[in-house]
Structure 1
Amino acid sequence: MVRSRTDRPAVMHVLVVPSWYPTTEVPLNGIYFAEQARCLQAHGMTVGVVYPEQQSLRRATVGALRRKHFQTAWTTDHGVPTLRRYGWNVWWRVPPGLRCRVRSAVRLARRYVDRRGVPDVIHAQSARWAGAAAARMSNALGVPYVLTEHFSGFQRGGVWAWRRPLVDRGLRRASGLAAVSAALKEALATRKDIASGDVAIHPNPVRASFFTRPPEGRPSRPPFRFVTIARLNSRKNIGGLIEALAQAFEGSNDVVLTVVGDGPQRAALEAQARRLNVADRVDFRGQQRRAGVRAALREAHAFVLPSRHETFGVVLVEAMATGLPVVATRCGGPEDIVTKETGMLVPPAAPTALAQALCTIRTRWGGYDAECIRAHAVDRYGPEPFVRRTQSFYRCARAA
């Protein structure tokens, strides 16, 4: 039986619907959504998550199929009550598959309400499919929904034509719209019936209590260590960074690069490092959990994000929270984050400009104030400003 909304507690109750989310097999996928939900909960809100998980069939081992066979289960992922349906990507690249996922999310929401009551607001994370699901949940439960967009496909034309009606439905019907960067906001404003003034900018937060400056200080130099943290695919352009490293410090062994992350291009990137004679100066560490990411940041002297497209750049803020100066490309989100006091911006896919920036950061490294860099990150992207923005977002939606 659905609990009456008149019986709900005074504490605001939010149901989060993420378009992607951590799984057993891919624990960092959408980790920031889980951390945001936990942050809101830690600041006194009642928060829950529903997620119709759809694993890639490439991971469909016998053991995985025994663990995940389209069953529904409650968990406390990342300390937040979460209702999941464990499924597989049987036909997600065609319209019926996406509609099936939306229906599954709505069914989960009804089961969620039976146990935890009707939420005050639904928060869809991205319009890729969660927006349409939230719109249907809103109709079914009689509560408003808001949508925060994170998907870089809006900037690079990556929304497939057959998805657009579902995507646009989620965007148009929301009681509140936000994007994580100014560039993404303007990309959304090019869509029909959405004006720039209708979209707020709500950047992602950083776990300021976790990503801190190294208590023992930075390691001594040489070597000077750059670090990058990224999925190893073409969009992140790690190949351009390796080329820039070889160009900037040819024949020098006192500058090294740590690469944290994995992906389809790893073997090709390792081959590139050998071809450019920098294999002994590029440390591929693979995918790391959060503690490993923090350790890599604390061991480094500067951070680099050479992406072709970024909607925001959470790793930039995490690096800055540990006191690192950063080098990033003007590819969308970083323009909102990086200032001359915190690092440098260069054009995307421009190895020579990136090489020059690496040299400059190394030369001027002593002139960057690590405490000021951290303060910049925490003051703008810490938990407190994030919670204030989000609570205001929800209140406006409820009042609409």
Structure 2
Amino acid sequence: MSRTSARDVAIVTPWYPTRELPFRGAFVRAMTEATAPGCDQATVYHCDGWWSRLTSEQDAEIGEAQRLLLPQAQAVGQTVGGAGLRYVPVPMPGGLSFADIARRHEATLALALGGRPIDAPVVHAHVGLPSGWAALHHLRPDARFFVTEHATFLDRILAEPDGHAMYDQVLHRCDAFFAVGDGMRDLLVETFPHHADRISIVPNPISFEHPRPVPVTELRRWLFLGGLIPRKGVTWLLEAFAVCHADDPRLTLSLVGDGELSATLQARAAELGIADAVTFAGAVSPDEALRLMREHDLLVHPSRMETFGMTVVEALAAGMPVLVTRCGGPEETLAGIEDAAGELVAVEESPDSIVAGYRRLRSRFPDGLDLELAQRTLDDRYGYPAVARAHHRVWFPEENSAADAEGGLAPATPEGAR
């Protein structure tokens, strides 16, 4: 075992931005960027599922090739905050249960580690399955173990008997377990009441370090950031935009992201006669997404369900008001500043609530909003320093006990999170 500092941290995750998928795992990247500077060393283990349709024979052949090659191909790159990055491809045939996916992650991480434990005294996994399960089986005996849960499909994992049982084991071993919102914590506490005392909330970190150069003066340039999939409500967004565009032909809509509905949405935009006003930008890097936020006037986020709604807070950090559905996370993150930040509308299987919400927002813009108040409030709740303090306090308790005695640390949970 190599010599490590008490402030060395390993982060195990199934999602992290790549060149091909720059949006996936943006939250994990942000958490790394926020917390890594306070560590002596931080290393991200990105266990990336490679999905394909394989016969059992092909799967076995790939598994054998990986067993031989993966231990020789483990280089440590660099990522945000000065952290290291180890990329671990995990071959995935179709049709696996969540439990089987987790077992694949566990076995592949073992190959990448060469049979040795993760050499860090603090291990933080993102999502209980698969990464919490994978990390659980590769801890040093003295390691402190933490998990952050932010998977939107958590209910489906817990509905599987094996997934439920494996999740229970992860919770049992955790020193602390974090959910990113009330709804997710409530589900976990209801499912595992015997672990309620170790499940708390620490929200997603958002950077407020890049102010908008020119304030928004009108709500003409709409922006959507996310997957072009049914859960994100993009079908109703396009229909709502067509109605509002008929009222004001100067309106434009940029759809940033990829997904199964991309071709359908493009065809529908042509049918509605708004193709010239709608831009399909595809997936972009986080830096490009930030640039687009600073160049548009309004984020429209019509999701059916979110555990947090990171994009909503990012848009406000970039100085842009928001029109967002009450889909779980956003009403928590914007609690107390809804009117200052923009407009929250009901989740409806029609464009009506989006259209009505836009008209209300437009009628009270700009005097009915207070974006500076929204930014200050959200920075206190979800800014990098607040979330980093929350993590470091639990990761390094011995050092924090001494600082507490001197009044040197903020509370473990950022203001506004419960």
Q: Which shows bigger deviation, 183-192 or 227-236?
A: 183-192
What is the letter of the counterpart of residue 241 of structure 1? L
Query: Contact 1:323 / 1:373 at 8 angstroms: preserved in 2?
Result: no
**Which residue of structure 2 aligns with residue 118 of structure 1?**
119
Correspondences of 1:14-53 after superposition (within 5 Å): 14-53=9-48
- What does residue 93 of structure 2 align with? 90
Residues 111-260 of structure 1: pairs in structure 2 closer than 5 A? 118-138=119-139, 140-154=140-154, 160-194=160-194, 196-209=196-209, 212-218=210-216, 221=218, 224-260=220-256
SS of aligned partner of 1:207: coil
Distance 1:227 1:266, change over 3 A: same
Q: Distance between the aligned counterparts of 1:283 and 1:194, measured in 2?
A: 50
Structure-2 residue corresponding to 1:61: none
Per-residue CA deviations over 1:7-62 (Å, capped at 9, x if unaligned) read 5435x11111113223343232112212322322223442112233322338xxxx
Is the 8 Å Cα contact of residues 120 and 144 (structure 1) preserved in structure 2? yes
8 Å CA contact 1:129–1:167 kept in 2: the answer is no
Question: Would the aligned equivalents of 2:345 and 2:353 in 1 still touch at CA under 8 Å?
Answer: yes
Q: Distance in 2 between matches of 1:318 and 1:112?
A: 39
Contact 1:105 1:133 survives alignment (8 Å): yes
C-alpha displacement of 1:240: 1.1
Q: Counterpart of 1:340? A: 339
Q: Partner of 2:361 in structure 1?
A: 361
Task: Name the SS of the counterpart of 1:76 in structure 2.
Answer: strand
Partner of 2:348: 349
SS of match in other structure, 2:356: helix
Q: 1:224 to 1:91 in 2, by over 3 A?
A: closer
- Decide whether the 8 Å contact of 2:121 with 2:142 is kept in 1: no
Distance 1:390 1:208, change over 3 A: same
Aligned length: 379
For 1:236, give the aligned amino acid.
K
Q: Contact 1:172–1:194 at 8 Å: present in 2 too?
A: no
Q: What per-residue deviation string (whole Å, max 9, x for no partner) do you get for residues 307-326 of structure 1?
A: 11111111111101011111
Q: CA deviation at 1:230?
A: 0.8
**1:249: Cα distance to partner?**
4.3
Residues 357-366 or 389-398, more deviating: 389-398
Instruction: Summarize the Cα distance change of 1:158–1:144 in structure 2 as closer, same or farther, 3 Å threshold.
Output: closer
User: Which segments of 5 or more consecutive residues in structure 2 lack a partner in the other structure?
Assistant: 54-61, 401-418
1:127–1:161 CA distance, 2 compared to 1 (3 A) = same
**78, 81, 85: which one pairs with 2:84?**
81
Instruction: Give the aligned CA root-mean-square deviation in angstroms.
Output: 2.9
CA distance in 1, matches of 2:331, 2:40: 32
2:286 and 2:104 map into 1 onto residues whose CA distance is 33
Structure 2 length normalisation: TM-score? 0.81
2-structure distance, mates of 1:24, 1:256: 28
Question: Which is further off, 331-340 or 152-161?
Answer: 152-161
Question: Which string of whole-angstrom CA distances, capped at 9 and with x for unpartnered residues, describes residues 175-233 of structure 1?
Answer: 10110011111111121345554321111011222xx3322444x65x71121101111
In the TM superposition, residue 103 of structure 1 has moved relative to its aligned partner by: 2.2
Unaligned runs of 5+ in 1: 59-64
Q: Give the match for residue 326 of structure 1.
A: 322
Secondary structure in 2 matching 1:340: helix
Give the drift of 1:167: 2.8
Are the counterparts in 2 of residues 146 and 397 from structure 1 also a CA contact under 8 Å? Answer: no
Separation in 1, partners of 2:268, 2:203: 35
2:405 equivalent in structure 1 = none
Asked whether the equivalents of residues 48 and 81 of structure 1 are also in contact (C-alpha less than 8 Å), the reply is yes
> TM-score, normalised on structure 1?
0.85
**Aligned position for 2:109:** 105
Letter in 1 for 2:211: R
